[in-house]
């Protein structure tokens, strides 16, 4: 089991979810830690400059994009051993494609206490930006977060086509470089070509794009708009379906409200 900080030990390193890019979507705790950290270590290609700008003037701010794991660890460990506070800032939420496990393991091996601060993942931010719901009564009650296979292969049973067979809502990350492959996998899984797709590119950054397509027009839309990295696709089979939840149905009783006939 991972050896994170004990409850009575103050973490010296915080893995912080920076969300998709908008500094206003940081949690209050994340903002406070970035503003008070002595070392702010972030991926410059992914984390918005507006978030890094929250660091205090005296902080050491380091772009980790050109660094390997041993180099980022050396920076964090040295700062922590010197009694300094470290903010390791990751885009989105650290638990989703955040690659924090190997970093945390090195800290644990040296008994350096750490903690994780969650962030808004791109799927949630995109759904809010488009004002859509992943779950729709009687249509889909499941959301799958996944990606197309690339340099990182997919485990058996987790290819995009395999998961598409559920015909649920999906958020497809890290796959805009091959929109034709995404569309074909979704079709192979059984989605109708007219299934709506919301495309969110660099949400919260200057020049963000929010686009609508269908599975049939997904690749054409991506190529026409020239979007690739930092794009999430929302597959929305329930969009526009005329269904309503039971929660506010007057004829549906529950512990807080009796049913009305």
Q: SS3 for 189?
A: helix
Report pLDDT for 240. 80
In a domain, 128, yes or no: yes
Report pLDDT for 6. 46
Domain boundary among 102, 117, 132: 117
In a domain, 93, yes or no: yes
- How many domains in the chain? 2
| Residue-range definition of the domain harbouring residue 134 | 122-235
Contact 144, 171 (CB under 8 A): yes
Report pLDDT for 81. 97
Residue 80 and residue 19 share a domain: yes
Rounded to the nearest 10 degrees, how much is the dihedral formed by the CA atoms of 18, 85, 29, 135?
A: 40
Residue 207 and residue 149 share a domain: yes
**How far is the C-alpha of 188 from the C-alpha of 158, rounded, in Å?**
14
CATH code of 180's domain: 3.30.950.10
Residue 136 and residue 110 share a domain: no
Residue 137 and residue 112 share a domain: no
Residue 139 and residue 227 share a domain: yes
In a domain, 133, yes or no: yes
Contact 11, 114 (CB under 8 A): yes
Backbone angles phi, psi at 53, to 5 degrees: -65, -15
pLDDT tens, residue order, the chain (261 aa): 555 554 456 899 999 999 999 999 999 999 999 999 999 999 998 999 999 999 999 999 999 999 999 999 999 999 999 999 999 999 999 999 988 999 999 999 999 999 999 999 999 999 999 999 999 998 999 999 999 998 889 999 999 999 999 999 999 999 999 999 999 999 999 999 999 999 999 998 989 999 999 999 999 999 999 998 899 999 999 898 766 655 555 555 566 656 666
pTM attached to this predicted model: 0.87
Residue 230 and residue 126 share a domain: yes
Residue 144 and residue 63 share a domain: no
Angle between helices 101-109 and 69-81 (to 10 degrees): 40
CATH code of 31's domain: 3.40.1010.10
In a domain, 5, yes or no: no
Angle between helices 179-189 and 218-225 (to 10 degrees): 170
Residue 150 and residue 174 share a domain: yes
Residue 196 and residue 106 share a domain: no
**How far is the C-alpha of 160 from the C-alpha of 135, rounded, in Å?**
19
In a domain, 255, yes or no: no
Domain boundary among 85, 117, 149: 117
> Checking DSSP bridges between strand 13-17 and strand 114-117, what pairing results, if any?
parallel
Residue 134 and residue 89 share a domain: no
Contact 110, 77 (CB under 8 A): yes
In a domain, 256, yes or no: no
Report pLDDT for 155. 94
Report pLDDT for 98. 87
In a domain, 228, yes or no: yes
Give CA angle at 155 (186, 123), nearest 5°. 50
Residue 84 and residue 142 share a domain: no
In a domain, 260, yes or no: no
């Amino acid at each position: 089991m991972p050896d994170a900080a004990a409850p009575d030990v103050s973490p010296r390193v915080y893995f912080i979810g920076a969300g998709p890019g908008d500094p206003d979507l940081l949690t209050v705790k994340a903002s406070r830690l970035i503003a008070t950290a002595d070392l702010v270590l972030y991926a410059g290609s992914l984390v918005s400059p507006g978030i890094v700008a929250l660091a205090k003037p005296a902080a050491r701010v380091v772009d980790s994009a050109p660094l390997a794991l041993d180099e980022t660890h050396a920076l964090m460990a040295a700062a922590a051993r010197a009694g300094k506070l470290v903010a390791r800032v990751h885009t989105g939420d650290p638990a989703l494609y955040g690659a924090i496990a190997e970093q945390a393991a090195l800290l644990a091996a040296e008994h350096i206490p750490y903690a994780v601060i969650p962030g808004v993942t791109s799927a949630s931010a995109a759904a809010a930006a488009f004002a859509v719901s992943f779950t729709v009564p009687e249509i889909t009650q499941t959301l799958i977060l996944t990606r197309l296979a690339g340099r990182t292969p997919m485990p058996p049973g987790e290819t995009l086509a395999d998961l598409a067979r559920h015909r649920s809502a999906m958020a497809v990350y890290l796959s805009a470089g091959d929109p034709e492959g995404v569309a074909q996998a979704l079709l192979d899984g059984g989605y109708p070509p007219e299934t709506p797709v919301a495309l969110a590119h660099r949400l919260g950054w200057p020049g963000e794009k929010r686009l609508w397509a269908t599975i049939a027009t997904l690749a054409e839309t991506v190529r026409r708009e020239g979007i690739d990295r930092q794009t999430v696709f929302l597959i929305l089979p329930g969009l526009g379906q005329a269904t309503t939840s039971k929660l506010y149905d007057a004829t549906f009783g529950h512990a807080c409200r009796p049913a009305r006939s």
